[in-house]
Structure 1
Amino acid sequence: MVKKQDQVTHNAKPTAVESRGGKSTIAIKGTFPEKYFAKKATMTITPAIKNYNGEIKQLTPIDFQGEKADGKGQIINYKEGSGFNSVQNIPYDPAFGKSILVLNSTVKKGEKEIKLNEKEIGEVNMSTKRQDIDPKLVYKNQTSDGTNYYFSEHNYIPNNLVVKTATIFFDFNSDKLNWNLPFNQKEENKQALSELFPFLMDYDSIQSIDIEGWASPEGELRRNQQLSNNRSLVGKKWFEKELESYLKKQSKETKSFMKRLTYKLYDKGEDWDGFINALKNANIEDKDKIINVIQSQATKIQKEQQIQNMIAIYDEIDQKILPCLRRSYFKISCVENLRTDEEIMRLVNISPDSLTKNELLYAASLTNDMEMKKKIFSKAIELHPEDYRGYNDLACIKVAEGKTDEAKKLFENANVLKSNNDVVLNNLGIMSYQDKDYGKSEKYFNESQKAGMDQSKNLALVKDTIYTIDYQTKPDIEETANDDKTKKQKSEDD
């Protein structure tokens, strides 16, 4: 068997070019020729991979035995010979990324054990990779399977209704203005009232000015209805006077503007819902009991009497809950973004600086022309350098153009201007993934998820390591080496 060892043939082939689970597999096949394997002999073939630093990683030994030998291996017939096939798992180790597959065989007969010559049968190249991706450029509200680079939200809503509210509070059983009341003295309430008139001037389309008069529910029903009506009228009178004063200070034409306004007055009566909700949020230990007692009464008169009883016991009801219900409530409704899509696209070409930031970015969503999108996003950066969206969106276009270095800088600029933005972090994660920087990619995806975007699919991609293996038989290696040598010699001769 020792003398004829070269007659034993071996070859190997990966069972799959790609695999998962931290390992690759390779099938080693061989053939023992006729009249080779002694009947009382045993043999162990130990495959191993040897890297170019001389390190060795042994694989699973393969045992064989002759027809009359005591052993545990595959029986090989002396007269006919036999083939064998062994599937070997090769755990991935970067140190053995490029290795030689060798076979070390030991023959044993009786007490005698002989090691055969080590046999190199091929070269193994192992590496890792991730699934290839082909990201699309989309907006978050668009349906798209797979991975995506996202444009920023333009936040533009055509014909969008916007509302501003404020409140004036009144004393018990009164419809007279009293600015010294505690609720009227609160800074947030003063601020809300002062913002009503600038708000009106910001919009061309004023849909309505609603003024509601309300009363607290502890008084007599007819009187409360009268109070709520009067409070809406007093609110309107105050509003008109203050608006006229504001317009004069702003040097605005007064009469024509005020004629355009439409008021809707509502006498809402007693605010029972407001009372119950305020009571639920109050810092009163027995509030649930109080609510049950009041709501169990059959008539409004009985309910009002119960409130009177509670006022005598609980100061918070008298001093905080009921005073906030006696009010004039202002609600101004305006419509913004009245330009048509056609008008916006016309202005993009002739006067982009006349558009708002949101209108400009909205215009880019109206066209599929990448050059036009690039022009718009570049103009957005020029006009609004403080807004991260222009940088993020132009970066997406650069990705489509294959200019990844420029795209990366733009994404990073966007991230500086708007940290913790889910879209920007997603895009940085996709770019890192395509750069094969999977650690950084996972970091960005996790941060994007914390900022609100579902990143379960992208995180699964990052963690899904694919192990690749390539195998060359020894003759192929020698042939490649000879070809390289021939090319080198020819180059030197030239």
Structure 2
Amino acid sequence: MIKKIYLPLMVLMTLAFVGCNKDMKPLSADYFTVTPSPLEVVGGQVPATVTGTFPEKYFDKKSVVTVTPYLVYADGETAGTPFVYQGEKVEGNNQAISYKMGGVVSMPVNFKYIPAMRKSELQLAFKVERGNKTYELPRVTVAEGVVSTAEIANVQELNPAITPDKFQRIIKETYSADIMFLIQQANLRAEQLKSEKMNALHNEINAAAEAPNKELTNINISSYASPDGGVKLNTTLAENREKNTVDYMKKSLKKNKIEADMTAEFTAQDWEGFQELVSKSNIQDKELILNVLSMYSDPEQREREIKNMSSVFEVLAEEILPQLRYSRITASVNVIGKSDEEISKLAQENPDSLSVDELLYAATLVKTNKEKADIYAKVVEIYPNDYRGYNNLGMVQYEEGDLAAAKANFDKAARIAPNTPEVAMNQGLIALSNSDYAAAEQAFGKSAGVNELNEALGVFYMKKGDYNAAVKAFGDVKSNNAALAQILVKDYSKAKATLAGVETPNANTYYLMAVLGARTNNEQMVVSNLKKSISMDSAKAQQAATDLEFAKFDISSLVK
């Protein structure tokens, strides 16, 4: 009798317990998908979309569920934006989930990337609220690991821009003087041969002949006649003016024992000179004269038409035509600068004796960055108002990885020359290194024409996650960064050719070749290139050990 009463009582108590327990049950990972999976770094972020399904007759009508994504890694975790869902009988503005039908939810997640996330789990945490009661469901792991290949983009492999010297070994100089003639005459007048300009020309010629660092390369004589006489008369005049001037210069050179090549030519009717002088003059009817010149190509007809304008011709005869009766003597001189050996020696022993351009040039003659930095430091000391010294010193410091010192010198250069493209380019590199993409973009916008800009823009676009723009910016550049952009857009054949063309392969070059091997399922390519990469940089072993690119391959012997 007692047993008959006990058994139904136990059943009722059990049913009552179950009926009162309104807690929602844990969900399995089968109810969730993640795109992409595994996760990938894009523009320094880890974005993904989690699609979840609440099954039929699961979601309690009076409950609110907060789902928080977490990226969990070895020494911590990062929480993402929570998503809130509610049952049918809850008043609120969150997405409602039907108890009977269930529902599908989409949760876009995003985490700022840190290297520890390479080996991580994407977990979903569930907090349930029903009235005054709050409880948590077990977390669900929906994805594992983060592909961080995009982070191989290396700002430090970019070349900063040098502000070049203007040093020229040979500087070409010219000196000239005119001998003026009277109308229809070709004789050289004494006052013309003793003019101030003619004396100055002779002095320059003599100095060039005597100076050890100068070379008199040529003396040219161009003789002219004004276009107000007939062609035959003017030809004779111009030819005689040339002959007399040449004879004069030959005697002068012989007297001073100077040897020089001499060339000569004459222009019988200097219509080009005439047109130039008229266009620059204040003659009232100059437009009329210029129209005549454009209407008639025959020299004699031009002359007749202009002479027919008697009032105009009188002005021309007084103001313009006398200026076209001359011989111009032009001396060409090469000024030969210091040799490389002289400049290098003076840069070490007596830098103050060098011009700023010679000292900047000296830095291009040495091999090591330390030697370059020493010379640029002297430029800054001796020529503190020349921005190029600061920029180029910063350039060397950037290449050596001292970004703080490089930034200080780039900023000094910018204060002296604020609109210099090379300096702006280098400031952009510093901003890019510090992930200050807004400042980098602004600086690169001021760097048009700088040779190094396209590569910098390529890395900038990769850091922003725009891989197609990066590929376009790199063009045909053969660099690790350019190959990485091609890998990220899955152009593996071009990436392989780019890496093969890298002039000085380093650990990153071979690491990217290993990534290419992994993506094309070539195990031998993975192993051989990882081995080379690790031999050049032991830190690559740890990087490879947690790199999901190599998850399908046995690289344990390389990374232990």
- Alpha-carbon distance in structure 1 between the residues aligned to 2:313 and 2:453: 52
For residues 55-66 of structure 1, what are the structure 2 equivalents within 5 Å?
58=83
Q: Which of 289, 292, 295 is the aligned partner of 1:290? A: 292
Distance 1:122 1:313 in 2: 100
Q: In the alignment, what sits opposite 1:162?
A: 173
**Does structure 1 residue 134 correspond to structure 2 residue 133?**
no
**Paired position in structure 1 for 2:424:** 425
Partner secondary structure for residue 444 of structure 2: helix
- Asked if 1 retains the 8 angstrom alpha-carbon contact of 2:84 and 2:95, the reply is no
Is the 1:25–1:89 contact (alpha carbons within 8 Å) kept by the matching residues of 2? yes
Q: Counterpart in 2 of 1:24?
A: 47
Alpha carbons of structure 1 residues 312 and 17: separation in structure 2 relative to 1, 3 Å: same
Q: Is the 8 A contact 1:352 1:360 kept in 2?
A: yes
Aligned to 1:392: 391
Q: 2:160 aligns with which of 122, 134, 149?
A: 149
The equivalent position to 2:108 in structure 1, one of 83, 89, 94, is: 89
Is 2:28 aligned against 1:9? Answer: yes
- Any residues of structure 2 matched to 1:25-424 within 5 Å, and which? 25-27=48-50, 37-38=56-57, 58=83, 69=100, 71=101, 73=103, 87-90=106-109, 103=126, 117=135, 121=139, 132-135=153-156, 147-165=158-176, 167=178, 170=181, 172-174=183-185, 197=203, 204-229=214-239, 231-232=241-242, 259-260=258-259, 263-276=262-275, 284-286=286-288, 289-295=291-297, 297=298, 300-309=299-308, 312-313=311-312, 318=317, 322-424=321-423
Distance 1:115 1:193 in 2: 108
| Per-residue deviation, 1:213 | 1.5
C-alpha spacing 1:423/1:41, structure 2 compared with 1 (3 Å): closer
Cα deviations across residues 187-212 of structure 1 (Å, max 9, x unaligned)? xxx99996885695585112122232
TM-score by length of 1: 0.61
CA deviation after TM superposition for structure 1 residue 347, in Å: 4.6
Change (3 A) 1:294 1:39: closer
* Secondary structure class of the residue paired with 1:259: coil
Cα deviation code 1:112-161 (max 9, x no counterpart) = x999856584899xxxx99944356xxxxxxxxxx431222122333443
Task: Select the structure with the greater relative contact order (CA < 8 A; seq sep ≥ 6).
Answer: 1
Q: Give the secondary-structure state (helix, strand or coil) at the position aligned to 2:227.
A: coil
**Native 8 Å contact 1:42 1:63 kept in 2:** no
- Describe the superposition over 1:156-183 as per-residue Cα deviations: whole angstroms up to 9, x where unpaired: 3334433345555555445566999xxx
1:151–1:317 CA distance, 2 compared to 1 (3 A): same
User: Aligned equivalents of 1:178 and 1:349: distance in 2?
Assistant: 53
Higher fraction of strand: 1
- Using the TM superposition, give the Cα deviation of residue 46 of structure 1 relative to its aligned residue in structure 2, in angstroms: 6.4
Change (3 A) 1:293 1:382: same
Q: Match of 1:110?
A: none
**What SS does the aligned partner of 1:334 have?**
strand
1:134 maps to amino acid = V
Instruction: Find the aligned partners of 1:192 and 1:459 in 2 and give their Cα distance.
Output: 56
Equivalent residue of 1:433, what SS? helix
> Match for 2:155: what amino acid?
D
Shift of the 230–24 alpha-carbon distance from structure 1 to 2, 3 Å rule, reads: same
Instruction: Call closer, same or farther: CA 1:308–1:103 in 2, change over 3 Å.
Output: farther
Report Cα offsets for 1:416-453 as digits up to 9, x if no partner: 3333222222222222322333343333333333x877
Q: Using a 3 Å threshold, how does the CA distance of structure 1 residues 438 and 349 change in structure 2: closer, same or farther?
A: same
Contact 1:310 1:317 in 2 (8 A): no
Q: Which has the higher helix share?
A: 2
- Cα separation, 2, equivalents of 1:460 and 1:305: 67
The alignment partner of 2:266 has SS state of strand
- For residues 275-321 of structure 1, the C-alpha deviation after alignment (integer angstroms, 9 at most, x for no partner) is 455567778444664234321x3xx4334323433564477755665
Is the alpha carbon distance of 1:302 and 1:42 closer, same or farther for their aligned partners in structure 2, counting shifts above 3 Å?
same
CA separation of 1:43 and 1:30: change in aligned 2, threshold 3 A: farther
Q: Which residue of 2 aligns with 1:438?
A: 437
How far off its partner does 1:18 sit?
Answer: 2.3
Q: Find the aligned partners of 2:132 and 2:458 in 1 and give their Cα distance.
A: 51
CA distance in 1, matches of 2:218, 2:416: 38
Aligned-residue sequence identity (percent) comes to 21
What is the deviation of 1:359? 3.1
Report the Cα distance in structure 2 between the residues aligned to 1:385 and 1:282, rounded to whole angstroms: 46
Decide whether aligned partners of structure 1 residues 29 and 41 sit closer, same or farther in structure 2, where only a CA change above 3 A counts. closer
Could you tell me which amino acid in structure 1 is paired with residue 293 of structure 2? I
Where structure 1 has 5 or more consecutive residues not aligned to the other structure, the ranges are: 75-85, 94-98, 108-112, 137-146, 245-253, 468-494
Please, what is the CA RMSD of the aligned residues?
5.4
Q: Residue 150 of structure 1: SS of its match in structure 2?
A: coil
- Counterpart CA distance in 2 for 1:47 and 1:456 is 46
SS of the residue aligned with 2:412? helix
Shift in CA distance, 239/103, structure 1 to aligned 2, threshold 3 Å:
farther
Secondary structure, in 3 states, of the residue corresponding to 2:168? coil
Q: 1:483 maps to which residue?
A: none
1:345, 1:363 within 8 Å by CA — same for their partners in 2? yes
CA pair 7-372 structure 1, distance change in 2 beyond 3 A: closer
8 Å CA contact 2:219–2:332 kept in 1: the answer is yes
Tell me if structure 2 keeps the 8 A contact 1:392–1:414. Answer: yes
